[in-house]
Structures are given as structure tokens and as C-alpha cells.
């Protein structure tokens, strides 16, 4: 028996959201999407019962903006397990170890979806258990355990069940949006989390502790500077004053980087090679198939960052549990960040303070160590972005072969070429593989550059790229849905 025959009884019985029987009206899709978004924001404010307040650290740290969720809430793990499961499937599928034909075989499609869901459950367990039982990340409120008449270990299991429930909820919320809403739940949650931090970075105002200047957003800070309620460390004619204006309170560099990323991504989304198409059955019916510069989208960047996140996750677990961890693996400061060793060099650059040693940053590290870390981060993101973009195109049926079949089945052909799949595939093969690699590498460079220069609200460069790109694609999908609603015949033509 093959592994498919052995696993089929389990994988085909995984709980799933029922697919709609027919076409879902656009207004109903918007309703489902808005409802899930409200539920997501509600759950991020439902705090875990039994966790000591004001203690512990966010184990995801700066990766939180792309993994959604909220530290200390029931959505503690965010979309991390979903992304990690996708990485495993991407690698297995890219190496052709699964033996699944998800394009033509309905049974294999069902097995693939069941396997993905099964892996998500496994990843929720593997992610949640170290968070709860390793100590320091989600510390138990011993006083509450005593008042309930249970041990600390018993309360830890209650916390773990909540974390597991949150991981399952976000999995099925994503499935509801994918089947009944607009776009995908993963993309929606990333947009929600990043947008929340962007708005907070702009207009945050400390009503409780007004003396804490650092908690002011950019707009209130500029008003305070203009009104004289706050001042720079030096005048604008001094180096310190300029540094405060650009990197400090003024955050001019963060504003410039955020705006530049928006403009570059929107422009890159519009750069494309358009392959002319004509309908073999209807004379005069013509169209174009666009091969965008960012053909695989920026979603493969989640996979690259998730690999880095899991590596840093492993480092923090080892640091907390392994008392005699060798120094070459890494040393950590009181905030739980690596300051030397292997885990320091593979940690991604998150802000200007991580590397600008010449402008007072660098966090006390030697210039050569900082340069090695920047080089490793850039190499990982460029190579990883290109590799995962290739895997993404292959596993999502966006490659030349799968796309050629879709074009041929819709009755379209490329003028001047024979009306068969091979001819279309040959033309697409001249563009899609090259554009996929170039686009993946370009997105990697943009993500590292945005992190190095800083963004509004401390959003990671990858999170900002994802938000802009996903929002742009969401707009395109909504426009397409409206077009299909206005012209039902087009829905039948395009399937």
C-alpha cells in the first residue's frame, strides 16, 4: 500500500468548511469577509486565562506583524502554523516527494487539502507546547492556580488548550474567507494586523501616561515639536538634531520608506508582459494574458520569514532550557534578543538601530559582525525569495504547463501559433520562469531594505510589502467580482 492508501481514511475525514453549492453573490462575500474580520479583531482582544499579566515576552517578536494574532491573546500563534505547514508542503511538493497530481486528479486534490490541514494541527501542537511549558513566554499565574485549587501544571494545560483552540479557530476562519469571502483569510489577517500598527504609529496618543514621549505617534509628536512641548536633543544645525529628526522623534526616514514601498510595489504590480490571445470560436474576441513582474506575488516572502522565525524560535527555546548552551550558538540579552553567535548572524535586520553603527546604532556590536549579519539576511531573502517563488508557482498551478491548459480550455489561443497546449506552453515558458525568479529576488531586496531603513509603527518590511501587495490584489479581485456580477455570461466563459 502507498502512503496515500494508508492516510486516505484520515485525510479525507478532516473537518472542513462546506463549499458553496453555486455562485456566491458579491455582497454576501463582502458580508462573510467583514464578519470574519470583526471576529479576528475580537479574538485578538480575548486574553489567555491563567497567564500572569505584565510578565513574559512575545516569542515571535518582530515577526508578529506578518504572523498576525496578538501576544497573550487566544490568537497567540497567529497564522504561524498555517505558514509553517505550507513551507513543509512547498518543499515536499517542489521535490516531488508526495506523488500528488493536484491539477488533474480530484482524489489527490482532496488528499493534499487534508494533508495540509493535518500538518497545521501538528504545527499548532509543536508551536504552542514550547510557548506554554518552556516558561518565560506564557508564565502561569500561581496565585490564580492556588485559588482554583489546581497545580501550576494543571493551569498550564488550560492555557495550552486555549492556545490550541485559537490556532484551530484561525485555520477555519481562513477557510471561511477562502470559500465564502473575498481573497484569503491569511492575507486578510496580515492586512488587519499591519494596518493596525501603521495607524497606531501615526496617531497613537498616551492618554494614561502622557509623560511617556516615546508612546506618541508621528502626528502628535510633530504637533508637540511645533508647539514646543517637546524638543530635539540638539538644534537642526547639529548632527544630533538631524539624527533625531530623521531617525528619532521626527521619523522622517520611516515616513519616506513607507511611502516609497507603497509606490514601488504598486508600480511593480503594474509592470507586466502581456501575451496577446484570441478566441478560436468567436472571431474578433481578443484578450491578453499578463505576466506580472511580481508574478508569484509577495506571499512566498511569508515562507522565507517564517523559516527565519522558526530558527529564532528554536534559539530562544534552547537559550531558556539549555543552561550550558555553547557560546558559538548564541548569547542573549535580557530582552531575549541574540547578541552573538550563530543565532545572531542569522537573525534578520529589523530596524536602523540594528545596523547603523556609524550613526549611533548597532546596539554595541562590532561593524564587521553587523556587516556579516546584513549580508546573511540579504542572501537568505534574495535566494529564498527566488526559490520559494518557483515552488509557489508550481504548487499553485501558475506554471507554464498548468496556465497553458487553462488558456486552451477557455477556448483562447495565441495568434500566429498552433491551437494546442504545447504551443501555448512554449510561449509562456519564455517568460514565466525568468519573471518568477526576478520578481522573487526583487521582493527579497525590498523587504530587507525596508527593514533596514525602518517604517511607520515599526512594521517589518515584509509585513508592509505583503499588506500593499495583498491590498492591491484584493482590489483587483473585488473589481473582477463586480464585473462578473454585471455580466453573468463572463462568469460562464471564465469558469
| Domain ranges, ordered by start, for the chain | 1-11+26-181, 252-495
- Is 492 a residue whose pLDDT tops 60? no
- Is 490 a residue whose pLDDT tops 60? no
Q: 285 pLDDT band (50/70/90 cuts)?
A: low
How far apart, in whole angstroms, are the C-alpha atoms of residue 382 and residue 378?
Answer: 6
Q: 343 pLDDT band (50/70/90 cuts)?
A: very high
Q: Which residue reads 507603497 in cell numbers?
A: 262
Looking at per-residue confidence, does 283 or 141 come out higher? 141
**437: nearest Cα among 242, 294, 288, 263:** 294
Q: Above pLDDT 70, what percent of the chain? A: 90
Which pLDDT score, from 0 to 100, does residue 210 have?
Answer: 43
Which pLDDT score, from 0 to 100, does residue 363 have?
Answer: 77
**76: nearest Cα among 210, 202, 16, 166:** 166
Q: Which helix (H) or strand (E) holds 279?
A: strand 272-279
Which pLDDT score, from 0 to 100, does residue 134 have?
Answer: 75
Q: How many angstroms from the chain centroid is the CA of residue 269?
A: 18
Which pLDDT score, from 0 to 100, does residue 42 have?
Answer: 94
* CATH placement of domain 252-495: 1.10.3370.10
C-alpha cell at 435: 519573471
* Alpha-carbon separation of residue 338 from 244, 354, 379, 409, 436 (angstroms): 26, 11, 20, 54, 34
**14: nearest Cα among 164, 183, 172:** 172
Helix locations, 140-181, DSSP H: 142-148, 152-180
* 331-332 vs 338-340, strand pairing mode: antiparallel
Which pLDDT score, from 0 to 100, does residue 117 have?
Answer: 92
For the chain, the average pLDDT equals: 84
Which pLDDT score, from 0 to 100, does residue 88 have?
Answer: 83
Q: Which residue reads 491563567 in cell numbers?
A: 50
C-alpha cell at 288: 491578453
What is the pLDDT averaged over residues 290-303? 82
What are the contacts of 400-404 at 24+ separation with CB within 8 A? 400/425, 400/428, 400/429, 400/432, 400/433, 401/425, 402/103, 403/289, 403/428, 403/432, 404/428
Cβ atoms of 166 and 73 within 8 Å: the answer is: yes
Which pLDDT score, from 0 to 100, does residue 416 have?
Answer: 79
Which pLDDT score, from 0 to 100, does residue 43 have?
Answer: 93
Q: Out of 238-247, 363-372, 470-479, which region has the weakest mean confidence (pLDDT)?
A: 238-247
Cβ atoms of 303 and 90 within 8 Å: the answer is: yes
C-alpha cell at 369: 559582525
What is the pLDDT averaged over residues 228-233? 75
Q: Which residue reads 471564465 in cell numbers?
A: 494
Q: 212 pLDDT band (50/70/90 cuts)?
A: very low
* 412-413 vs 272-279, strand pairing mode: antiparallel
Q: 136 pLDDT band (50/70/90 cuts)?
A: low
pTM, entire model: 0.81
Tally: H helices and E strands in the chain = 19, 5
How many Cβ atoms from other residues are within 10 Å of residue 301's Cβ? 27
95-104, 118-127, 280-289, 384-393: which is most confident:
118-127
Q: What is the DSSP string of 8-35?
A: HHHHTTS--PPPPSSPPPHHHHHHHHHH
With b for 16 or more beta-carbon neighbours within 10 A and e for fewer, the 335-361 pattern comes to ebbbbbbebbbbbbbbbbebbbbeeeb
What is the pLDDT averaged over residues 487-493? 53
Cβ atoms of 175 and 185 within 8 Å: the answer is: yes
* 286-292 vs 331-332, strand pairing mode: unpaired
Note the pLDDT tens digit of each residue in 25-65: 888 999 999 999 999 999 999 999 999 877 767 777 767 77
Note the pLDDT tens digit of each residue in 137-193: 888 988 999 999 999 999 999 999 999 999 999 999 999 999 999 888 888 998 988
At how many degrees (to 10) do helices 152-180 and 26-43 cross?
A: 160
C-alpha cell at 343: 543565532
What is the pLDDT averaged over residues 381-404? 87
Cβ atoms of 329 and 311 within 8 Å: the answer is: no
Strands (E), 304-355: 331-332, 338-340
Q: 383 pLDDT band (50/70/90 cuts)?
A: very high
Query: With respect to CATH, is domain 1-11+26-181 assigned 1.10.3370.10?
Result: yes
Q: Do domains 1-11+26-181 and 252-495 have the same CATH topology?
A: yes
Residues with Cβ within 8 Å of 191's Cβ and at least 6 positions away in sequence, in order, are 467, 470, 471, 474
Amino acid at each position: 500500500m502507498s502512503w496515500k492508501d494508508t492516510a486516505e481514511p484520515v485525510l479525507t475525514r478532516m473537518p472542513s468548511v462546506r463549499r458553496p453549492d453555486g455562485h456566491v453573490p458579491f455582497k454576501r462575500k463582502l458580508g462573510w469577509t467583514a464578519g470574519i474580520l470583526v471576529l479576528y479583531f475580537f479574538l485578538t482582544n480575548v486574553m489567555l486565562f491563567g497567564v500572569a499579566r505584565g510578565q513574559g515576552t512575545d516569542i515571535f517578536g518582530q515577526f508578529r506583524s506578518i504572523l498576525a494574532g496578538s501576544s497573550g491573546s487566544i490568537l497567540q500563534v497567529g497564522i504561524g502554523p498555517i505558514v509553517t505547514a505550507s513551507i513543509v508542503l512547498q518543499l515536499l511538493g517542489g521535490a516531488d516527494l508526495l506523488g500528488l497530481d493536484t491539477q488533474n486528479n480530484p482524489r489527490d486534490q482532496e488528499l493534499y487539502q487534508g494533508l495540509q490541514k493535518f500538518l497545521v494541527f501538528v504545527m499548532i501542537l509543536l508551536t504552542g507546547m514550547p510557548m506554554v511549558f518552556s516558561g518565560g513566554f506564557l508564565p502561569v499565574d500561581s496565585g490564580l492556580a492556588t485559588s482554583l485549587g489546581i497545580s501550576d501544571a494543571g493551569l498550564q494545560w488550560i492555557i495550552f488548550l486555549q492556545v490550541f483552540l485559537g490556532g484551530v479557530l484561525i485555520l477555519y476562519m481562513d477557510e471561511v474567507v477562502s470559500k465564502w469571502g473575498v481573497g484569503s483569510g491569511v492575507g486578510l489577517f496580515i492586512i488587519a494586523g499591519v494596518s493596525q500598527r501603521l495607524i497606531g504609529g501615526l496617531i497613537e496618543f498616551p492618554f494614561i501616561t502622557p509623560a511617556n514621549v516615546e508612546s506618541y505617534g508621528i502626528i502628535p509628536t510633530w504637533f508637540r515639536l511645533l508647539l514646543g512641548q517637546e524638543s530635539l536633543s540638539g538644534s537642526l544645525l547639529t548632527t544630533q538634531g538631524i539624527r533625531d529628526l530623521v531617525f528619532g522623534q521626527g521619523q522622517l526616514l520611516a515616513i519616506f520608506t513607507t511611502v516609497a514601498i507603497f509606490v514601488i510595489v504598486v508600480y511593480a504590480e503594474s509592470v507586466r508582459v502581456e501575451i496577446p490571445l484570441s478566441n478560436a470560436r468567436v472571431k474578433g474576441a481578443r484578450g491578453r494574458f499578463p505576466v506580472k513582474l511580481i508574478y508569484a506575488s509577495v506571499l512566498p516572502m511569508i515562507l522565507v520569514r517564517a523559516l527565519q522565525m522558526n530558527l529564532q524560535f528554536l534559539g530562544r527555546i534552547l537559550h531558556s532550557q539549555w543552561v550550558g548552551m555553547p557560546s558559538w550558538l548564541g548569547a542573549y540579552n535580557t530582552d531575549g534578543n541574540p547578541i552573538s553567535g550563530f543565532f545572531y548572524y542569522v537573525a534578520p535586520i529589523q530596524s536602523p538601530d540594528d545596523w547603523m553603527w556609524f550613526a549611533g546604532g548597532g546596539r554595541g556590536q562590532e561593524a564587521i559582525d553587523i556587516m556579516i549579519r546584513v549580508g546573511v539576511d540579504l542572501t537568505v531573502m534574495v535566494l529564498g525569495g527566488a526559490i520559494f517563488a518557483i515552488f509557489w508557482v508550481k504548487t499553485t498551478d501558475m506554471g507554464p504547463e498548468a496556465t497553458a491548459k487553462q488558456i486552451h480550455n477557455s477556448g483562447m489561443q495565441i495568434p500566429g501559433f498552433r491551437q494546442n497546449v504545447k504551443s501555448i506552453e512554449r510561449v509562456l515558458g519564455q517568460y514565466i520562469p525568468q519573471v518568477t525568479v526576478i520578481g522573487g529576488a526583487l521582493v527579497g531586496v525590498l523587504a530587507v531594505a525596508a527593514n533596514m531603513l525602518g517604517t511607520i509603527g515599526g512594521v517589518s518590511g515584509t509585513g508592509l510589502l505583503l499588506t500593499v501587495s495583498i491590498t492591491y490584489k484584493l482590489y483587483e479581485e473585488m473589481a473582477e467580482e463586480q464585473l462578473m456580477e454585471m455580466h453573468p455570461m463572463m462568469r460562464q466563459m471564465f469558469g
